Structure 1
Amino acid sequence: MTTKSAQTTLLDRTFRVSLVLKGLDGVLELIGGVLLLLVTPKQIGDLVRFLTQHELAQDPHDFVANSLVHMSSNLSVSASVFGAIYLLLHGLVKIVLVWAVLKDKLWAYPWMIAFLLVFILYQGYRIAVAFSWGLVLLTAFDIFIVWITAREYRLHKARSQESSATAQPAD
């Protein structure tokens, strides 16, 4: 096996693993969206306070625990519904596109790239407004997925064109 072939195989595996991770992220978003519809903001606040009380008793200045308590205490019903709809739609689209790309549906590649580019732009805006390392890492992962999806799309198009050229009789 040549080095180029080994690199291609590794990138192919990386592409598949990355897509599966993106699909699992979509499933988690669906679950989160459903939970946001079923649980009230007050219940979320109570749960966060319960989960962070031990940490805050040990360290009243814990940044993460205090941030979670602050965010959950400011959660409104409209923000909760918006979050639920956002997560449900985002998760559903992500799952459908990941499934279609894993099934080698050529139409899904450009849609996956476009979908992720829109969210990369939105995430970039969110990072500029309220910096978050988690969002930076998610955005970096999305950029990687766009790059590797575009690479796979080019390879699939080239293979399709080659197979259709060999299937047609020569003049």
Structure 2
Amino acid sequence: MSETTRLGRWLHWIFEASLLLKGLFAAAETLSGLALLGLPGNAVLRFAEWLTQRELTEDPHDAIATALLNAAQQFSIQTQSFYGFYFTSHGALKLVVVILLMRGVLWAYPAALALLSAFVVYQLYLWTHHHAISMLLLSALDILVIALTWREWHARFGLALRAPPK
């Protein structure tokens, strides 16, 4: 087996593994969003109070427990609704694209490239405001999946990149 063939198989395996990973994340994200949409408005705060009660009884100045409780107190019903809608729609869109890519649907490749690129732009926009490392990590994973999707699309459908004729 030639080096090119071996590399191609390895990249195809990485593509399929990244799809599986994206699919699992998308399913979890969709379920999380649906859970947020279905929870009563004060459930997040009640859960945080239950979770931190023992620790704050032992140490009222515990930084992690205090931060978690403060975050839950700031988590309004509007914020819960926004995140519920965002996670559900974001996850469902990615899940549909992953399923279509796994089935080898031709138009899903450019659709995935466009959708994932839009997610990267939005995640980087969020990063500029909140500086959450998670946005950079998600963007890096999406960029990897974009590159692998581009390569898979061209390899699978014979869309080899060639120099224009002279």
* Structure 1 or 2: more helix by fraction: 1
State the Cα deviation string for residues 121-142 of structure 1 (Å, max 9, x = none). 1110111111112221111101
Judge conservation of contact 1:30–1:91 (CA < 8 Å) in 2.
yes
Offset of residue 72 of structure 1? 1.8
Match of 1:21 in 2: 21
Match of 2:133 in 1: 133
Judge conservation of contact 2:153–2:159 (CA < 8 Å) in 1.
no
Match of 1:168 in 2: none
TM-score normalized with structure 2 length? 0.85
| Count, aligned residues | 158
Superposition RMSD on alpha carbons, in Å?
A: 2.0
Is the aligned partner of 1:61 residue 2:66? no
Match of 1:86 in 2: 86
Structure-to-structure mapping, 1:50-129, within 5 angstroms: 50-53=50-53, 57=58, 60-62=62-64, 65-129=65-129
Separation (CA, whole Å) in 2 of partners of 1:6 and 1:50: 53
Deviates further, 6-15 or 67-76 = 67-76
Separation (CA, whole Å) in 1 of partners of 2:141 and 2:69: 28
Offset of residue 66 of structure 1? 4.3
What is the identity percentage for the equivalent residue pairs of Structure 1 and Structure 2? Answer: 30
TM-score normalized with structure 1 length? 0.83
Separation (CA, whole Å) in 1 of partners of 2:68 and 2:76: 15
